[in-house]
Amino acid sequence: MSLENDPDGWFDRDVDWEKLKAILVFMVPGLTLFAIFSVYPMVYSVGGSFWVWDAFDPMHFVGLDIWVETFQDEAVINWDNIKELEYPMGALPQNLIWMVIHVPLSTFLGLGLALLFSDLRGRRILRSMVFLAFTTPTVVIGLVLLFVYDPQAGIFNELLRTIGLEGQVRNWLQEPQLSMYALILGGVWVQTGFSMLLYSSALAGIDPSLLESARVDGASRYRRFRDIIWPLVKPVTAVVVIMGMIWVLRIFAIVYAAGGPSGGPNGVYSVLGLEVYQSAFSHPIEYGRAMVVALVELFIALPMAYYIARMD
């Protein structure tokens, strides 16, 4: 971390009230809003998770009771189904499964597309075509997936019919054991554009003459990738993976739009965000439980935050 940005002390020579006042004038307006609407509610959730709530009002302190209850809740973790490897497994494992499948797929696809497009004419247009879904509202993405997987009007099923798999035609978002993967595929569709964009900019920084001389020296494609390209795009991979994980952790609108607030039939593709929303804002209101689930999300995000801070 480089927080000493003024090594020569030019700005520090006048440690005075004038400077301190200026810093305050600059920072107080924004930090006030940041404190009230971001920091305070986070602290509120941490504290509130140890209380019993009557709807939106804290009643009394109960320690870890709500934490224990939440982890025994089948909607959060369903141990029996996990043993059978059957959905619904609960929002927490499902969210993690989403991450484990989604992140590598979107990362490698993004790298692949970045390499494929890297020196083609019109690569800007090609990249924009792939990136477009990422600028689309996620709620629209969810509805688009609903449309794509529709048994009648959906193009995915039409594709199956065309290649002679009529027997496989179904509503892919109503199949308890399959719909998770159908949605993950949709998530990968969206996020590949993002990782492709980051990889493209990293690839643009590679000196073409380096690759050219390696080629002249007879290095194979694989060798050129491994020895020249990969070391240069490796740092980007870390960023792509972290942003992908945060993206999956925050997934909400896609699932809500595709399967309603319950996350599909029986919650087979419910995720942590939906679980928080359900507990906090639909009857019966369980504010404490919502806070616990949201904090579980935070715990998963903290190592990523730490990594971002270390990168600096």
Partner 1 sequence: MTDTPHTDGAAESETGSSRTDGGTRVRYDVPDTAPTDDRDLSTRLVDSLPSAPRAARYAIAIGIALLWLVPLIGLFMASVRPLSEIIQGWWTFENLTITFENYEQAWNYESGPMRQALVNTAIVTIPAVLAVTLLGTMIAYPFARFDFPLKTFLFFLLIIVMAAPPELVAMGNYNTLQDTGLFDTYMGLILVHIGWGMGWVVMFLRNYLLGLPKELEEAARVDGASRYQIFKSIVLPYSAPALVSVAVIQFTWVWNSFFFPLVFMRSQENKLAPQVLPLMKGRLQIDWGLVAAGSVLTMIVPVLLFIVLQRYYKKGMVAAVAD
Q: How does DSSP classify residue 266?
A: G
> Which stretch in 63-71, 79-87, 112-120, 163-171 sits in contact with partner 1 by CB under 8 A?
112-120
* Least spacing, CB of residue 112 vs partner 1, in Å: 5
Length of the chain: 312
5 binds partner 1 (CB under 8 A): yes
> CA triplet 88, 156, 174: central angle to 5 degrees?
25
Please give the Cα distance from 131 to 151 (Å, whole number): 27
Complex with partner 1: residue 4 or 80, whichever CB lies closer? 4
Residue among 240, 271, 244, 241 nearest 255 (CA): 271
**CB distance 115 to 288 below 8 Å:** no
Complex with partner 1: residue 135 or 266, whichever CB lies closer? 135
Q: Which residues contact 211 (CB under 8 A, 6 or more apart)?
A: 224, 228, 229
* Least spacing, CB of residue 156 vs partner 1, in Å: 9
Tell me which H or E stretch contains 59.
Answer: strand 57-61
Please give the Cα distance from 214 to 208 (Å, whole number): 10
55 binds partner 1 (CB under 8 A): no
* Least spacing, CB of residue 214 vs partner 1, in Å: 9
> Which stretch in 59-67, 149-157, 164-172, 174-182 sits in contact with partner 1 by CB under 8 A?
149-157
Q: How many CA atoms lie within 13 A of 211 on its CB side?
A: 15
Task: Map residues 9-38 to x or -, x wherever contact with partner 1 holds by CB under 8 A.
Answer: -xxx-----xxx-xx-xxx-xxx-xxxxxx
Classify the phi-psi angles of 282: left when phi > 0, otherwise alpha if psi is within -120 to 50, otherwise beta: beta
* Least spacing, CB of residue 162 vs partner 1, in Å: 10
Site for partner 1 in 66-105 (CB under 8 A): none
Site for partner 1 in 235-294 (CB under 8 A): 235-236, 239, 242-243, 246, 249-250, 252-253, 256-257, 260, 272-273, 276-277, 280-281, 287, 290-291, 293-294
By CB under 8 A, how many residues form the interface with partner 1?
A: 128
Site for partner 1 in 153-182 (CB under 8 A): 153, 155, 158
Name which position in 76, 203, 241, 268 contacts partner 1 (CB under 8 A).
Answer: 203
The residue to which tokens 């059957």 are assigned: 86
Please give the Cα distance from 93 to 310 (Å, whole number): 28
189 binds partner 1 (CB under 8 A): yes
